[in-house]
Amino acid sequence: MATGMLLAAAVPGAVAGTQSPASASPARTASTGAATSQAQTASVTGPRQPATSPVTIAITSMNPAWAKPGDTITVSGTVRNDSRTTFSHLSVQFDFAGTAVAGLSALEQDVASSSLPLAFNLVAGRMSQPSAVLRPGQASLWSISFPANELRMTAFGVYPLTAQLYNSAGSMVAYSNTFLPYVPASRGPEAKSVPAKQRIAWLWPMMDVPLTSLPGQPDCSGSQVSALGASMASGGRLDDLLAVGGAYTATDQLTWAIDPALLEDASALSACGGPDAHAHAAATWLSQLKKTTAGQQLFVTPYGDVSLALITQGRTKDVSGSTGAISLGRQLASQLLQRNVGETSAGLRTGSTATAWPPDYVSVPILDNLLEADGISTVVLPSGSVSGAPGTAFTTQADTQYQLKVLLSNSSLTQLLAASSGKPQLDFSTSQGFLAETALMAAQGSADPIVVAPPQHPLSWQPSESLAKTLLTYTETAPWLTPTSVSDLAASTTKSDPNLTTTSRTDSGSFSRAVLRELNAVGSDVTAISDIAAKQGPANQASLALADLESANWPARNQAARLAGLNALASLLVTEQGQIRIVADRRLTLGGLKGSMPVVIDNQLDFAVAVRLYPSISQPPGGGVTVSQKPQGMVVVPADHQVTTTLRVQATQVGSTTITLQLLNKTGTVLATDRVVVQATQFGTFAMIILAAALGLFVIASAARAVRRGRPATPDNPGDAGQPEEIGGSQQPPEPDTVVPEPSELGAARTSGPL
């Protein structure tokens, strides 16, 4: 067994608890890091203290991050006194093992163990001189340097190191573990132990909790808007991810995964008027994202990154198809990014939406649906959700017609990144754990690539700018890694698994019964509104609003807020459906057996609609009333306008008939209904008879006068000779339209056409 001796460091003068915030941050880091690491046993590295430890120790940096022959290693950290007791004569001792970790499973098993300390045959180093006093609430920094050759490391591997804190009695009161990868010289007895470079691909997510503003009512204030604006502002989470990703996207061949809902929210927020700083931040961020990702590989998630469990819960159309979240997301992202993210024919290197990254564990039927309905050709799944896979990149026969490329992201790395989210005190342990895990994966000698997929949920992926930079720097510079892209991995897959088996949890991403009932009700209203739009556009806002409420990125256990949003959306949609009306007279009296009736279609919505007026007649068997209309078919009514259609009514007998007027959308759904009672009379026939009799009496009287006067009975106007005979003949003139409508609710002016 190879062993070595390290000079331990005495804890120097304590940093007072009343120091300035800037100088106090290392102390807070050590304390919080210790408490957090105990709770997160899945973390590969990090401070681990005895349960009753009154003080804590943390390793905060190591330079270089991996060792080579001849290097000098400098390790630094903090010590903090969280008790009410003053400590003196504290010292730090560094222990190490000359034996590398056997493998990844051994690494994870020993780190998760509660034993003290790591059981790797540690060898004690020399003790340092007693330290200064460390009072309650105070913190101190320590640092030690040593030659890498003293560790007696030989072959390529990952070696454990432990920093131990001792009190004046010589008892260990706290410790912190880390791991040091070692790369032997390229020429030497252990050169063959260095593995071939492992391909590694990163997904770089641009996602957030979507805003839930109602259609036509954009929010420019509120807690949601403030949180999103702060994230896009300088130093915010989204701003840091964009800046760091942009700096490394070329060297690390990042694949950007963008939620179109985030693009839409940024666009809407940037349009808010007034001196709101969030509007400027959103506009700047969106512009920079467009520039940064231009020419880079990307794909977009379904709008709102909706839960794919909707497919198995009877809401498939919310996800797939021409009006689903996938299609709407592609259309919107193409507009806002000014590139065709929906193009698949040019190949995956264009950054097409042929790649899917489900936010939940998914079953094979869900994958089949995505493949068939939305043209998905590559899917990224967590390695823990697939059993019996032939590797991390393979092809499967998802259905009888299509093949699906499957990439398995490393679940262990995803958990490592999630454990450090929003905790800068764990930056070192996370980055060093990343190196340790990837080095052990490379040491396995497998040709399977490594796919790194950070947590999609924004609350689970909040790295500091420093950590994000460090991780991507290591991806580029670690001697055992070589960056590649998701599309290149998919294109180079050679393995096949004809029977993909997923270990999907039945409740993964599923909605409760209460939420699902409301989704079904609101979904019907969304469909009705979408189906009346004259063209794709503002009407889609209802579908987008629903997708926001179906997002998998909502905070967990927030059912009440989701239900409240669904109820608000339902109320708005019911109101909108009432803004398309039929305006007609309730009773129509014909001055004969036929006539015409104007019907106004009133659209009070802020987008053009395409509707059809459908009249149906309720009459007894053998009834003789018919109705024709002009114009026929679908009628486009502009936003906030009216269009008049004319109904021509023809009756064969006197009587009363009820005509039901229905306003239908393109799928035949009834939007509005009205009824008109039509009364047919003989008034026109009687009038003609009376007129003919009057004319006959007039002709007879004129002839009699002429005889008495001894003159021929000629008409007064010679040019009209024979006219009385023609009028009295069997050929009668056409019957005029004689409509006598009762006053309507809009008055006579409303019946003449658009106002």
Q: DSSP states of 269-288 as a string?
A: HHT--SS-HHHHHHHHHHHH
pLDDT reported for residue 527: 84
Which tokens is 163 given? 């920093």
pLDDT reported for residue 260: 95
Q: What is the mean pLDDT of residues 291-303?
A: 93
In the predicted model, is pLDDT for residue 251 greater than 90? Answer: yes
What is the band of 144 on the pLDDT scale with cuts at 50, 70, 90?
confident
Q: What is the mean pLDDT of residues 95-108?
A: 74
**What is the C-alpha to C-alpha distance for residues 435 and 478, in angstroms, rounded to an integer?**
8
* pLDDT-wise least confident of 369-373, 390-394, 451-455: 369-373
* pLDDT-wise least confident of 102-111, 416-425, 710-719: 710-719
pLDDT reported for residue 657: 83
* pLDDT-wise least confident of 305-319, 526-540, 704-718: 704-718
pLDDT tens-digit series, residues 59-100? 999 999 999 999 999 998 888 888 888 888 888 887 777 788
* pLDDT-wise least confident of 239-243, 285-289, 349-353, 615-619: 349-353
3-class DSSP state of 334: helix
In the predicted model, is pLDDT for residue 336 greater than 90? Answer: yes
**What is the C-alpha to C-alpha distance for residues 15 and 31, in angstroms, rounded to an integer?**
14
Q: What is the mean pLDDT of residues 224-243?
A: 94
pLDDT tens-digit series, residues 460-470? 899 999 999 99
In the predicted model, is pLDDT for residue 27 greater than 50? Answer: no
pLDDT reported for residue 433: 93
3-class DSSP state of 502: strand
In the predicted model, is pLDDT for residue 392 greater than 70? Answer: yes
- CB contact at 8 A, 4 and 96: yes
3-class DSSP state of 657: strand
34 vs 98, higher pLDDT: 98
Q: What is the mean pLDDT of residues 302-331?
A: 88
In the predicted model, is pLDDT for residue 721 greater than 50? Answer: no
290 vs 172, higher pLDDT: 290
Element (H, E) at 602: strand 594-603
Q: What is the mean pLDDT of residues 467-493?
A: 95
Q: What is the mean pLDDT of residues 704-728?
A: 47
pLDDT reported for residue 735: 43
pLDDT reported for residue 240: 97
Q: What is the mean pLDDT of residues 587-607?
A: 85
In the predicted model, is pLDDT for residue 518 greater than 60? Answer: yes
Q: What is the mean pLDDT of residues 635-648?
A: 91
* pLDDT-wise least confident of 302-316, 366-380, 574-588: 366-380
pLDDT reported for residue 438: 96
Sequence-distant (≥ 6) Cβ neighbours of residue 218 within 8 angstroms = 268, 271, 272
Q: Which residues pair with 327 in a beta bridge?
A: none
Q: What average pLDDT is seen over the chain?
A: 78
In the predicted model, is pLDDT for residue 185 greater than 80? Answer: yes
Sequence-distant (≥ 6) Cβ neighbours of residue 69 within 8 angstroms = 148, 149, 184, 185, 188
**What is the C-alpha to C-alpha distance for residues 379 and 405, in angstroms, rounded to an integer?**
6
Q: What is the mean pLDDT of residues 109-137?
A: 53
**What is the C-alpha to C-alpha distance for residues 38 and 48, in angstroms, rounded to an integer?**
6
Q: How far, in Å, are 90, 661, 678 from residue 619 at the CA level?
A: 102, 14, 11
Q: What is the mean pLDDT of residues 396-417?
A: 85
pLDDT tens-digit series, residues 151-169? 889 999 999 888 888 888 8
What is the band of 10 on the pLDDT scale with cuts at 50, 70, 90?
low
**Continuous H helices in 481-512:** 486-491
- CB contact at 8 A, 371 and 402: yes
By percentage, how much of the chain surpasses pLDDT 90? 33
Q: What is the mean pLDDT of residues 158-186?
A: 88
Place of tokens 């100088």: 23
